[in-house]
Each structure stands twice: as structure tokens, then as C-alpha cells.
């Protein structure tokens, strides 16, 4: 179903009460989240406005708990400025959840700030991942967002009891004597307005407090940081922006003495010479062994426990020596966060759908597959006229329904398979298979008229691999089908399959070149379940590119293989078997 048809179907629903209203609410939110991102929007202005109007109508029928759950489930997928502004205008709990999760560029935040209420801007002030331009723009709203006021509906007592004339005048004069003259004079209209407000009866006390707070705000905003206070403020700003990589230098004892960026308090003093104990900070045996030999190392694991730099890092460094005496002086190197394929993660993230566990997801798939099979059966009956003649229009419509039902069944099979993989089910007994035959059969299956050409160069005499037959077919077919579906019209899908010796037995590698539609994308984007590529991708994976790649990686993990994302291609590796055994038999 095309997106425009889907949106028209959603907007045409008239039942807006009960469970139907909640479902319609989630559908409208998903459409905006997927198709109205800040970096790429495929929605026309009237379509966006229609969806927002429908959400505004449904807000009265959907409970606050359900609306809050919608924002929480979106998480970092909340990349629509219009949707973020809509949630920011809701109850404080929903506005706070949306402002703390929305992922927008700095330019979009700055354009959105005038349309946000003080509560939403207050939550945004607490985030540490916004740019300097956003923080400066937020400071411009300080005079209105951070003002003290007595205008409250739930106030107990008389407002005049808060500050009397006798109390106000001495306090204001005392503070005025302490404050230096302002760096700039307010506009005449502002002075006249302030004087007029002060002269009005009934609000004199509030105007006195407001004027006092405004003068303090102008003083603190215009004062330049001096001495230790300014240095402390600069260090605080530096600490909250943890980098993803940094250069470092150690002394002869392996202790880090210098870093080029990042919070120095969290990095200076870390040592390379002792292996990290459980729950502590330190390197792995590779780094510690290299330090003992005074040799270089690459991509060594280092764990930092606590602080802004907490987590795993990858270190690469070379030793340096005194040019006169030749004595070891320390290391100079680089540290970075590990890539996705370098971190041991469970494949459960491939089925992280609305917080469902693997067992719950399998149960849901079973409940959806039963009525879908019935729909498919009736559609085939009408299409084939098994119970009597049917008009050509009905047969054509039944054929389309049957085709869509088969696509949905295939998606349900993928969900069920991903749930079993995430739960740790090994499937059937592994058996030896010919990788060349697997690739050849998959290429033949997707080499249809009108589809992109597939050219996979397969090396001769590939060793066998041992894996579950169903998992092996699914891995190769999913990889080829995904690349074929996202390839532009007329562009061929190319790749190669070869044996790569690696230690004892080596591995078989299937490398598929990236189509031009995936060029330049980072690994995190490709594996993001919320990522929607440029264009329609009408034949793309039904559950998304990220889900398909994660499923392939999970299947490869079950047989000891892996999926790697490189700059120009995607590699699927499977351990080879039989090479060492055959050599032993020959001997």
C-alpha cells in the first residue's frame, strides 16, 4: 500500500472512540514520525496539517497515559518538528517526555523555540546534547521563562501579604546600591511601560518584584566571567560534552598524562599497565601485554567505569623513546568508541517492537497469521472462481488482496524467525552445505524480468559451511532481496563470494556492493529500524532496512558468523568447515 493511500485511509476513519481512537492516534503519530523528519520530509503542507488536525481532535479521546506511552515508545525516532511542537503543547508530563527525547538539528530547535511554552523550553535547557546556538537562543527567553510572578490560581491568601510597601522600598534600594549600572539602557517604551505598571493600583507589589528580578537578570547576563568562576564554568561546559574520540599520551608507567579533548578529570590518571578487574576501569590483556613488551597495539579494549566517559573504548597507540638514551618514555595514541560490529550484543534488538518480548511477539504473530490465512484462502477462491463465476473486477481485486496477504505472511515469518533467534532457539540440526549452491539458488530466485541484474562472482572450490538449512537460505536470500529492493531502477547488484583463510579453518565471505541509494550512510543509519531511505522504495523490505540487516546479523551469529558494514559493501561471513579435517584425513 502506498503512503498516500495509507494516509487517506487513516483520515477517512470515522470511529474515533475507545480502542479505535487509540489505534487511529498511533497511526497518525507514526505517519508523521516516519514521513516528516527534519532531514527529509515527503509530506505536503496540507497533508501535515490534516494529520495534526486529526491528532488535535483525538487528543480529547485518548488518555494522558496513552499519549505519554506514545511519546516514550517513539524515543529518538521523534524527528518531526511539527510533531515535537504538537506534543510540547500537551500536558506538562507529555511535553517533558517529548522535549527530552526529540532529535532535531540545532536550526530546527531555534526555529521552534518561539512556539514552545516555558515548560517545554525549561526541559530543553536541561539537555546536554544541544549546540551552542540553541543554548544562546534559550538565554534570550530567560527574561520571560525565569521570571518570578504571583499570578497563580492556586494561591492561598492575599497577594498584598507577600511584599508590603515598607518591605519593598528598602530591599530594592539596598540591591540597587550593590548592583553596577547596567551595560545598556532599556528602550524608552520599556521604561514607560514599567513606570505605568508600577503606578497601577493593585499590581504595584508585583511590578516591584518584576523590576528587581529584571535588573538582577541584566546584571548577571552582562557580566563577563572572571577568575576561577569563569574557569569553572568553562570546565563544566567542557565536561558535559563527552567526545567520541580523543588523542592521549602516557608516561613511562602507562598513566595517561595528556588528552586533547574531553573531561580531563575523567581521563587523566587512567593506566594501561594493569588489566581491569571486575567493575573497575582498565584495559584488556591485549593492551596490558603490549605495555609489558613496550610494543604498539591496535584496537585494544579499554573499559571506563563511571563518569561522562563511561563505557567501552578502543585504543591504538605506539611507544616513543628518548632519542639520546633510548629509554622508554610512554605511549602516544588515539581512543575511540567501538563500532557496532565490535561490541558483543544479543540479537534481541532485531525484535524490539513496542517493548514486546520474544514470546509475546511469537504469540502475536500466531494470532495475526490465523485470520490472514483465512483472508488469503477466500481471495484465492474468488480469484480462481472455485465456487462459481465472478466478475473481472472482483477477480482483479481478489488477486491484489492475495498478493498483499502473501507479503504480510512473509513479514510474519520474518518476525517469528527473529523472535526465535533472539530467544536462542538453534533451529534444526546443523548440516554441511555448499555456499556456492546457496548463493546460486538465491541469485536465480531473484533474477526476474524487470528486476535489477544480479552479478555475483563466485570463487571455485569453496569449502563447505555447517549451519541450519533454513537459516542459511534465509540469510543469503534476505541479503540479496534487501539489496535488490533498494537498488535504483536499471542499476545492477554486484558482489563476490570467496574463501578467506583465518587461523585454523577460515571463513566463507559473501560481499555485496552497496547500491547507490545506500552510498555514504553510516552503519548506525543502516541498522536503525526507524530509518526510511530517500524515495519510495516501493519494493523495499516490508519491516524496514534496519530490521532486515539486524535479522541477517542475528542468523549469522547463531552459526558463528557475522555481518559487517563497510564503506562500499556489506559482508556476510560464515565459518568454513572440513578444511582441517580433510587435511588430517589425507595425512
Q: Which three cell numbers stand for residue 294?
A: 613496550
Instruction: Please state which of the ranges 69-83, 138-152, 173-187, 220-234 shows the lowest mean pLDDT.
Output: 173-187
Query: In percent, how much of the chain has pLDDT > 70?
Result: 70
Helix (H) or strand (E) holding 466: strand 465-467
Q: For residues 126 and 138, what is the distance between their CA atoms, to the nearest angstrom?
A: 11
| Lookup result for grid cell 566463507 | 508
Q: Which residues are CB-contacts of 475 (< 8 A; sequence separation ≥ 6)? A: 552, 555, 556, 572
- 437-450 in b/e form (b: 16+ CB < 10 A) is ebbeebbeebeeee
DSSP one-letter code for 517: G
What SS3 state is found at 321? strand
CA proximity to 86, closest of 106, 67, 63, 65: 67
Q: Which three cell numbers stand for residue 451?
A: 528486476
Q: CATH number of the domain at 237-338, out of 1.10.150.300, 3.40.50.300, 3.30.450.20, 3.40.50.720?
A: 3.30.450.20
Query: What's the count of helices (H) and strands (E) in the chain, helices before strands?
Result: 23, 13
Instruction: Please state which of the ranges 69-83, 120-134, 206-220 shows the lowest mean pLDDT.
Output: 206-220
Q: What is the pLDDT of residue 194?
A: 44
Cβ-contact 516, 483 below 8 angstroms: no
330, β-bridge pairs: 320
**CA atoms within a 13 Å half-sphere pointing along the CA-CB vector of 12:** 6
- Signed CA dihedral, 577, 579, 585, 587: sign only: negative
Q: For residues 238 and 234, what is the distance between their CA atoms, to the nearest angstrom?
A: 6
pTM over 0.75: no
DSSP one-letter code for 514: P
Cβ-contact 443, 456 below 8 angstroms: yes
Which tens digits make up the pLDDT trace of 111-168? 888 888 888 888 888 888 888 888 888 888 765 666 554 444 444 344 433 444 444 4
- Signed CA dihedral, 517, 518, 519, 525: sign only: positive
Cβ-contact 323, 42 below 8 angstroms: no
431-585, CATH topology level: Heat Shock Protein 90 (3.30.565)
500, β-bridge pairs: 507
Which band of pLDDT confidence, cut at 50, 70 and 90, is reported for residue 581?
A: very low
pLDDT at 538 > cutoff 60: no
Amino acid at each position: 500500500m502506498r503512503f498516500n493511500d495509507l494516509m487517506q485511509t487513516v483520515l477517512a476513519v470515522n470511529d474515533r472512540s475507545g480502542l479505535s481512537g487509540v489505534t487511529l492516534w498511533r497511526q497518525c503519530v507514526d505517519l508523521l514520525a516516519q514521513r516528516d523528519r527534519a532531514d527529509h520530509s515527503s509530506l505536503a503542507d496540507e497533508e501535515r496539517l490534516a494529520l495534526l488536525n486529526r491528532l488535535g481532535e483525538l487528543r480529547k479521546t485518548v488518555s494522558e497515559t496513552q499519549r505519554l506511552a506514545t511519546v516514550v515508545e517513539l524515543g529518538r525516532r521523534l524527528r518531526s518538528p511539527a510533531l515535537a511542537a504538537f506534543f510540547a503543547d500537551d500536558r506538562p508530563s507529555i511535553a517533558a517526555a517529548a522535549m527530552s527525547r526529540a532529535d532535531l538539528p540545532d536550526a530546527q530547535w531555534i526555529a521552534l523555540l518561539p512556539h514552545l511554552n516555558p515548560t517545554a523550553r525549561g526541559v530543553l535547557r536541561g539537555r546536554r546534547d544541544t549546540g551552542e546556538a540553541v543554548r544562546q537562543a534559550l538565554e534570550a527567553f530567560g527574561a520571560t521563562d525565569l521570571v518570578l510572578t504571583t499570578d497563580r490560581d492556586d494561591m492561598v491568601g492575599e497577594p498584598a501579604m507577600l511584599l508590603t510597601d515598607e518591605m519593598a522600598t528598602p530591599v530594592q534600594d539596598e540591591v540597587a546600591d550593590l548592583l553596577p549600572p547596567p551595560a545598556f539602557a532599556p528602550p524608552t517604551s520599556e521604561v514607560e511601560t514599567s513606570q505605568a505598571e508600577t503606578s497601577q493600583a493593585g499590581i504595584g507589589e508585583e511590578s516591584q518584584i518584576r523590576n528587581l528580578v529584571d535588573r538582577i537578570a541584566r546584571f548577571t547576563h552582562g557580566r563577563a566571567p572572571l577568575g576561577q568562576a569563569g574557569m569553572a564554568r568553562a570546565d563544566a561546559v567542557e565536561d558535559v560534552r563527552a567526545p567520541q574520540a580523543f588523542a592521549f599520551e602516557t608516561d613511562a608507567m602507562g598513566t595517561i598524562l595528556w588528552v586533547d579533548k574531553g573531561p580531563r578529570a575523567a581521563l587523566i590518571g587512567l593506566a594501561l599497565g594493569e588489566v581491569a578487574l571486575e567493575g573497575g576501569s582498565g584495559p584488556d590483556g591485549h593492551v596490558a601485554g603490549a605495555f609489558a613488551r613496550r610494543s604498539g597495539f591496535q584496537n585494544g579494549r579499554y573499559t571506563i567505569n563511571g563518569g561522562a566517559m563511561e563505557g567501552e573504548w578502543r585504543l591504538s597507540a605506539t611507544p616513543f623513546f628518548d632519542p639520546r638514551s633510548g629509554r622508554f618514555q610512554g605511549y602516544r595514541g588515539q581512543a575511540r568508541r567501538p563500532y557496532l560490529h565490535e561490541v558483543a550484543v544479543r540479537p534481541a534488538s532485531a525484535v524490539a517492537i513496542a517493548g514486546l518480548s520474544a514470546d509475546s511477539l511469537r504469540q502475536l504473530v500466531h494470532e495475526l497469521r490465523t485470520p490472514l490465512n483465512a483472508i488469503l484462502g477466500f481471495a484465492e477462491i474468488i480469484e480462481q472462481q472455485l465456487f462459481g463465476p465472478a466478475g473481472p473486477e472482483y477477480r482483479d481485486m481478489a488477486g491484489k488482496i492475495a498478493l498483499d496477504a502473501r507479503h504480510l505472511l512473509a513479514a510474519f515469518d520474518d518476525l517469528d524467525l527473529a523472535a526465535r533467534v533472539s530467544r536462542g532457539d538453534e533451529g534444526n540440526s546443523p548440516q554441511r552445505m555448499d555456499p556456492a549452491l546457496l548463493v546460486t539458488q538465491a541469485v536465480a530466485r531473484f533474477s526476474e524480468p524487470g528486476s535489477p541484474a544480479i552479478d555475483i562472482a563466485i570463487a571455485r572450490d569453496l569449502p563447505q559451511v555447517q549451519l541450519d538449512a533454513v537459516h542459511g537460505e534465509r540469510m543469503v536470500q534476505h541479503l540479496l532481496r534487501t539489496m535488490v529492493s533498494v537498488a535504483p531502477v536499471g542499476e545492477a547488484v554486484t558482489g563476490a563470494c570467496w574463501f578467506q583463510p583465518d587461523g585454523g579453518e577460515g571463513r566463507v565471505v559473501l560481499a555485496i556492493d552497496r547500491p547507490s541509494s545506500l552510498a555514504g550512510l553510516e552503519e548506525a543509519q543502516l541498522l536503525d529500524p526507524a530509518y526510511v531511505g530517500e524515495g519510495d522504495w516501493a519494493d523495499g523490505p516490508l519491516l524496514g532496512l534496519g530490521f532486515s540487516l539486524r535479522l541477517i546479523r542475528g542468523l549469522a551469529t547463531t552459526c558463528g558468523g557475522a555481518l559487517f558494514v563497510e564503506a562500499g559493501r556489506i559482508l556476510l561471513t560464515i565459518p568454513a568447515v572440513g578444511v582441517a579435517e580433510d587435511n588430517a584425513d589425507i595425512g
